[in-house]
Chains A and B, each alone.
Chain A
Amino acid sequence: MPAPHASRQQIEVYRFSVPAAFGLPLLALLLQAFLPVRAPFFAIFDLPLLITIYFAVGRRNQITGLLTGGIIGLLQDSLTHQPIGLYGIAKTVVGYAASSLGVKLDVDNPGTRLLMTFGFYLSHQAIYFGVARGLAGEALSWRWGHEVIGGAANALLALVLFVVLDKFRQRA
């Protein structure tokens, strides 16, 4: 049941073709791992997170959102040297929250996308940090400045990336 203030466009539910649903997350993981070799500044971006947010708010289904986030997170974990599950837990929560938010907000608005991505990035980093420190005992330190800059950079990238990804979605 959509929120009363939501317009018809806001409650539009989208789906993605099978190649896009599998190919885009894999491409994001590939680029996330490869691009920092040539362009070190790219390490500040989190493409898998942006894909998770985009798919979650587009499908507007909480279970699909959390499963998408969980699988992408686990795959991202498997490329690191840290225990598998850190990114998985963080992206599961973000996927669930993004799909919940997608039901209530006009997520096609650039301003909403900017703020939403910024907020989800900080939440994602905070969850990762908490789980890594608290459960896995990893020696990490929270850096407010770095995380805020990272959030802003990812939000700006999301503005461009989401417009490109809009071409892959189909009305359900």
Chain B
Amino acid sequence: MENIISRHRNLTVLAVVLFAQVLGLAFQVHKTTSRGADRLIRVWAVSAMTPFEKAVVHTTSWAADAWNGYFYLRNVSRQNQQLREEIQRLRLEQVRMAEDARQARRLQVLLGFKEQFISQTLPAQVISTTGSEFSRGIYIDKGARDGIKPDMPVITADGIVGKVLRVYPTSALVLEISDPSSGAGVILEKSRLQGILKGSAGGGTSVANIMADEKAEPGERVLTSGGDRVYPKGMMVGTVSKVTSAGTFLNVEVKPAARLDRLEEVLVITKVVEMAPDASELSGPARAIDILTERLPSVPAPNPADKSAVPPTTAELAAREKQAAREAAAAAAAAKPEAGTSAAPKPNPPVPAMQGAGEGARGTPTKPAVKKPAPPRPAERTNPSTKEPPR
């Protein structure tokens, strides 16, 4: 036996090394979490690589910033002009969207919706990749010391990137949405179809679990649905690029909005707050019609105890007019002897029918014109000008 082993020493060593690795592999696959020796190896390897990667990335960034900021200033003036025009356009768009947002939040208040708000983010720089085509992930220069934790979503201004998978002291591994083992709950914006965004071996992304009898069209935007409890709802994921039928389900290919192959800086969402929209937050720029509504007089509700507040009938009005005429005639007859010495007095005008209906009806606002945050119009308000057309 010993003779055989020594004769085939090289093959024996190969078999031992392979067996040891297969054993280690089986041990890792059996475990669900990375806490043992593999964790130690990863920490050592990543900690050894990270300082060099950080140094290279920060040096190149500094050099690029210096070059672009101080030396290469060609076309800056034209770019400046273009950006100004872009700002003007975005301002107009912002006004329109702010109004839509306020209306949406009013509806959310009414319906008792709960929203997820991104309350805290941490910018991070991409320092490296995993270096493997079979593992689509990136390393960022923020880690446990910066408050990064597993499962935190990572985004850019364009869309979602992935989620934090492993955290090291000064860096973290982010699993991109294009990795075959990743998954994100998404919803198609127009058709409202929900599914799971999965990565593929080729680096593409597609939405799974959409039945073949549903309809999705290329160009439709794909947003996060919030159902995975990782990504906040409503974040941009990408656009549908191709739809094919694959048996029972549709294969909806998605082009990610974020450039996953050219990431330099990302945002890690470190805190997400779930809360219902507060009605007091809805006070924004008041519309003219709302201000007018508040200032216009209105008829208060009738008080049953106050008889004067009850409007008289037509018969009562006629009787009152006759009575007034008789009193005027009597007064004129009584004053006839002195008619030559003084001007004839004018008859008292008839008592206005609504005089007793309240002082408030005479131009005095019934309540101060304090703008409240757009509550639903009170039912008792009767001024027809206050009625808004339904939106």
* Chain A residues near B (Cβ < 8 Å): 29-30, 32-34, 36-38, 40, 43-44, 48, 62-63, 66-67, 70, 74-76, 78-89, 92-93, 96, 128, 131-132, 135-141, 143, 146, 150
B340-385 interface (Cβ within 8 A of A) = none
Check B28 for interface membership: any CB of A closer than 8 A: yes
Sort A-B residue pairs by CB-CB distance and give the 7 closest, nearest first. Answer: A80-B135, A78-B45, A85-B25, A40-B261, A33-B131, A32-B131, A33-B128
Please determine whether A63 and B131 come into contact, CB atoms closer than 8 angstroms. Answer: no
A residues less than 8 Å from B261 (CB atoms): 36, 40
Known: A62-B13, A63-B9. 12 other contacts (CB 8 A): A37-B129, A48-B131, A66-B17, A67-B17, A78-B41, A79-B42, A79-B130, A80-B132, A81-B181, A84-B41, A140-B201, A146-B202
- Tell me which of B25, B45, B56 contacts A136 (CB under 8 A): B25
Contact with A along B259-300 (1 / 0, CB 8 A): 001111000000000000000000000000000000000000
Tell me whether A29 and B10 are in contact in the complex, defined as CB-CB below 8 angstroms, given that A82-B134, A83-B38, A88-B21 are known contacts.
Answer: no
Check B133 for interface membership: any CB of A closer than 8 A: yes
Tell me whether A86 and B49 are in contact in the complex, defined as CB-CB below 8 angstroms, given that A37-B263, A62-B14 are known contacts.
Answer: no
Please determine whether B25 and A37 come into contact, CB atoms closer than 8 angstroms. Answer: no
Check B29 for interface membership: any CB of A closer than 8 A: yes
Q: Which secondary structure characterizes the binding site on chain A?
A: helix
A residues less than 8 Å from B264 (CB atoms): 37
* Chain B residues near A (Cβ < 8 Å): 9-10, 13-14, 17-18, 21-22, 24-26, 28-29, 38, 41-42, 44-46, 49, 52-53, 56-57, 60, 126-135, 137-139, 165-166, 173, 175, 179-181, 200-202, 261-264
Please determine whether B134 and A80 come into contact, CB atoms closer than 8 angstroms. Answer: yes
- Nearest B residue to A84 via CB reads B38
**Cα distance, A88 to B17, chains bound together (Å):** 10
Question: How far does the Cβ of B51 sit from chain A's closest Cβ, in whole Å?
Answer: 11
Please determine whether A81 and B137 come into contact, CB atoms closer than 8 angstroms. Answer: yes
- Nearest B residue to A76 via CB reads B131
**Cα distance, A63 to B126, chains bound together (Å):** 38
Question: How far does the Cβ of B87 sit from chain A's closest Cβ, in whole Å?
Answer: 31
- Nearest A residue to B259 via CB reads A40
Q: 28 A–B contact pairs at CB < 8 A?
A: A30-B52, A32-B131, A37-B126, A37-B264, A43-B129, A44-B133, A62-B13, A62-B14, A63-B13, A70-B17, A76-B131, A78-B38, A78-B44, A78-B45, A79-B42, A80-B135, A80-B137, A81-B166, A83-B38, A84-B24, A85-B21, A85-B24, A88-B21, A132-B134, A136-B25, A138-B180, A140-B201, A146-B202
